[in-house]
Amino acid sequence: MMTDTALSPLARWTAPGIRDVSWTGGFWAQKTKLCAERMVPNMRALLEDPAVSHCWTNFRVAAGIEEGEHRGPPFHDGDFYKWLEAACFSLVDYPDPELRGFVDDAVSVIARVQEPSGYIFTKRAIEKAADPDAQSPLADELNFEVYNLGHLMTAACVHFRAFGTRKLLEVAEKAAGYLDSVFSSVSPDKAKTAVCPSHYMGLAELYRATGNRRWLELCRRLIALRDQVRNGTDDNQDRTPLLSQREAMGHAVRASYLYAGVADLYAESDAGVGAGVGAGIGAGYRDMLECVWNDVVFRKMYITGSCGALYDGVSPYGSSDYFSIQRTHQSFGRAYELPNVTAYNETCAAIGNYLWNWRMFLISGESRFLDVMEAVLYNGALAGISLDGTRYFYANALRRVRELPFSLKWSRQREPYISSFCCPPNLVRTIAETKAYAYAVSLPAAAPECRVLFYGSNSASLTMGNGTTVRLEQTGDYPWEGRISLRIAGIRGAAAFTISARIPAWAGAAPVRLNGSAIDAPVGEDGFIRVERSWSAGDLLELELPMDARLMEAHPLLEETRNQVAVMRGPLVYCLESADLGDGVSVFDVHLPRNASFRPTEMEVEGERVVGLNCTGFARQASGGTGGGPLYRPFVNTPPAPIPVRMVPYYAWDNRGFGEMSVWLPLA
């Protein structure tokens, strides 16, 4: 989802425009091309097929184009809006007249579904046509109406920026106007509506796209409304007043969407005190966001950037007040409660984490938030879709066994369609929009600077706050190699400005060369190296990020991974699959030596080029294996035997048939 913080009072950076950056080669060019040619069309076919999802059919029935009844979950409207956003963004770099025609038709149909009040929800429109006394709007929070409207707003902003037409933007503004009329005042009887609150981000971006402060004021009122909820829940993050929250609790998607929306509102607030839209938003909300972020990143986030470890849990844990304990769902657990086999890790929660950290970067300029985004993007999120772009995970485990003595809610193998289809279009729009996060530029009040945030071959036209535009050409084979080249292709305006480049926390430092000569460019406290000078066309800035494979261990309170290690190279988490082991060797037999020496090796997984990691490990067959047998058994000192081990990037697992997999492996 694009964000335009160029005029945001408390933002420090803003992103380039929708046409200002294009991937030109390498990893993300391949992924976004696949997105345009396979992911978006395949998902359209699923949403159009009434035998599969009925999603698009719901819109056509609600618009009176065909007859039928509503089928599917109530958040299906939001699924379609997310797909529409992905299609619009993809069309910018990959024009397709037929797809553009369908997008135009879809916008017209959506407009026909909208009621005169601005309310739009296909389920109610269809039911109301059959029964004028059908359930009134917003009567049931689990109808996800405002969640759907939030995704309508963000899709409308992308549609407007991609094509310059206001047709969908006007639909979104009418929908926002409906919410404004319903929530014209803050009262407890209206408070319980914010399930998966995408509408906070939607309203903030609608304000940025239109300049209408009415939408920003509405966003402020709706966030303030949370503190009016009676009998709130930790599951929905509304039992504890927002300013008092210090831990991540409850539903991980709802939480990450909430905190992303609060960060959006903070960026738009005034000095943080006094009257106006900024009243009550300042330092208190920033402090709350920092505290909750620390809780997630240092206690409740997987090494892949995923979060929301539990399908079901309770809150608060271990409470002496029995009657205060509540059920939580798709939720954060205790600190360090991060199971591997049963890890829930909904793909949408990883994407919510990504969106929240992006906003935290925009208001801080600190690369620690980009480090989390990179972990999510290359690992926790990207694993949610198969390499061919047609099969999806809802839950993302870090370990898979062949058989479990219990059932799990969602398959541990990617499926071509998931009945709860919120994650696939969310991921496809994220992949389509990766270029929107590659750079940031300074705001008008700041010294001219452009920041390189994420690496990959691209061309960019970056306009800084003072009006200077620099054309950059970035080349490199990231994430497989660490050599990054940034060439100045042209400058319009003042030649004196700063180029800063992010040095990921995993890299520590990186040699920097300017026009072939080494220069001293230390990493600042914000995680960036800065080169300030008068630039000329043809200048070449080069970085060399270290790409050695490294063993990672977890905090000792993370009991599931005691005496185990994970393997990372660059931003990528690796895993071991049974497809890369010989017959008779289980993933759970394999141990890694403490001094493991990994050899990067190019290979293909389902036709896609990846870099695998080869080393010598050890296999020790556990007595009894992972199947049945006694819970406890005598230890049998089976001598370990050396075996070749090959590990693949975690995002590429489950593309070679069903088998065992593990991110964490014991030490020999």
Share of the chain above pLDDT 90, in %: 83
Residue 513 domain-assigned (yes or no): yes
- Given the DSSP bridges, would you call strands 449-452 and 496-502 parallel, antiparallel or unpaired? parallel
Q: How confident is the model at residue 277 (pLDDT cuts 50, 70, 90)?
A: very low
Reduced to 3 states (helix: H, G, I; strand: E, B; else coil), residue 609 is strand
Could you tell me if 397 and 470 lie in one domain? no
Could you tell me if 342 and 476 lie in one domain? no
Q: Are 122 and 72 in contact (CB under 8 A)?
A: no
Cis peptide before 41 (omega within 30 of 0): no
Could you tell me if 220 and 308 lie in one domain? yes
Q: DSSP letters of 10-79?
A: T-SEEPPPTTSEEE-SHHHHHHHHHIIIIIHHHHHHHHH-TTTT-HHHHHHHHTTSS-----S-TTHHHH
- What is the predicted pLDDT for the residue at 139? 81
Cα separation, 232 vs 230, in Å, equals 5
Q: Which domain holds residue 598?
A: 550-666
**Region 110-127 average pLDDT:** 96
The answer on pLDDT for 291 being more than 50 is yes
Instruction: Tell me the per-residue pLDDT of 534-587, one tens digit each, with 9 for 90 and over.
Output: 999 999 999 999 999 999 999 999 999 999 999 999 999 999 999 999 888 999
Could you tell me if 418 and 450 lie in one domain? no
Q: Are 485 and 491 in contact (CB under 8 A)?
A: no
Residue 1 domain-assigned (yes or no): no
Cα separation, 384 vs 304, in Å, equals 12
- What is the predicted pLDDT for the residue at 539? 98
CATH of the domain at 518: 2.60.40
Q: Are 159 and 104 in contact (CB under 8 A)?
A: no
* Overall number of domains in the chain: 3
Residue 329 domain-assigned (yes or no): yes
Instruction: Tell me the per-residue pLDDT of 509-534, one tens digit each, with 9 for 90 and over.
Output: 999 999 999 999 999 999 999 999 99
Cα separation, 106 vs 113, in Å, equals 11
- Measured in whole angstroms, how far is the alpha carbon of residue 110 from the centre of its chain? 26
Q: Are 352 and 253 in contact (CB under 8 A)?
A: yes
Residue reference for tokens 């999802």? 53
CATH of the domain at 210: 1.50.10.20
Instruction: Kindly report the three-state secondary structure assignment for every residue of 162-203.
Output: HHCCCHHHHHHHHHHHHHHHHCCCCCHHHCCCCCCCHHHHHH
Residue 382 domain-assigned (yes or no): yes
Degrees to nearest 5, angle at CA 586 with 582 and 589: 110
**Region 266-286 average pLDDT:** 63
- Measured in whole angstroms, how far is the alpha carbon of residue 549 from the centre of its chain? 25
Residue 5 domain-assigned (yes or no): no
Residue 6 domain-assigned (yes or no): no
Tokens of 563: 């005496």
Q: Are 245 and 223 in contact (CB under 8 A)?
A: no
Cα separation, 186 vs 627, in Å, equals 56
Last residue of a domain, one of 437, 459, 481: 437
Q: How confident is the model at residue 377 (pLDDT cuts 50, 70, 90)?
A: very high
- Measured in whole angstroms, how far is the alpha carbon of residue 658 from the centre of its chain? 26
Could you tell me if 355 and 488 lie in one domain? no
Q: How confident is the model at residue 341 (pLDDT cuts 50, 70, 90)?
A: very high
The answer on pLDDT for 253 being more than 60 is yes
- What is the predicted pLDDT for the residue at 279? 46
Torsion of CA 269, 271, 272, 273, to 10 degrees: -120
Q: Whole-model pTM?
A: 0.96
Comparing 106-120, 189-203, 361-375, 551-565, the range with the smallest average pLDDT is: 189-203
Instruction: Tell me the per-residue pLDDT of 344-361, one tens digit each, with 9 for 90 and over.
Output: 999 999 999 999 999 999
- What is the predicted pLDDT for the residue at 624? 56
The answer on pLDDT for 56 being more than 60 is yes
Residue reference for tokens 């696939």? 424
Last residue of a domain, one of 407, 437, 467: 437
Cα separation, 320 vs 326, in Å, equals 13
Instruction: Tell me the per-residue pLDDT of 478-503, one tens digit each, with 9 for 90 and over.
Output: 999 999 999 999 999 999 999 999 99
Phi, psi of 64 (to 5 degrees): 80, 15
Could you tell me if 169 and 195 lie in one domain? yes
Q: Are 23 and 457 in contact (CB under 8 A)?
A: yes
Q: Are 310 and 231 in contact (CB under 8 A)?
A: no
Tokens of 612: 């695998």
Q: Are 524 and 451 in contact (CB under 8 A)?
A: no
Last residue of a domain, one of 421, 437, 453: 437
Could you tell me if 67 and 190 lie in one domain? yes
Residue reference for tokens 């037999």? 589
Could you tell me if 516 and 568 lie in one domain? no
User: What letter represents residue 382's amino acid?
Assistant: L
222 CB burial (10 A radius; 0-12, 13-18, 19+): buried
- What is the predicted pLDDT for the residue at 317? 75
- Given the DSSP bridges, would you call strands 517-519 and 590-591 parallel, antiparallel or unpaired? unpaired
- What is the predicted pLDDT for the residue at 622? 67
Residue 596 domain-assigned (yes or no): yes
Residue 85 domain-assigned (yes or no): yes
Of 276, 176, 266, 191, whose CA–CA distance to 233 is shortest?
A: 191
Could you tell me if 353 and 452 lie in one domain? no
The answer on pLDDT for 455 being more than 90 is yes
Reduced to 3 states (helix: H, G, I; strand: E, B; else coil), residue 330 is strand
Could you tell me if 35 and 171 lie in one domain? yes
- What is the predicted pLDDT for the residue at 623? 54
Cα separation, 589 vs 428, in Å, equals 36
Share of the chain above pLDDT 70, in %: 97
Q: How confident is the model at residue 626 (pLDDT cuts 50, 70, 90)?
A: low
The answer on pLDDT for 276 being more than 70 is no
Could you tell me if 377 and 478 lie in one domain? no
The answer on pLDDT for 84 being more than 90 is yes
131 CB burial (10 A radius; 0-12, 13-18, 19+): exposed
Could you tell me if 397 and 340 lie in one domain? yes
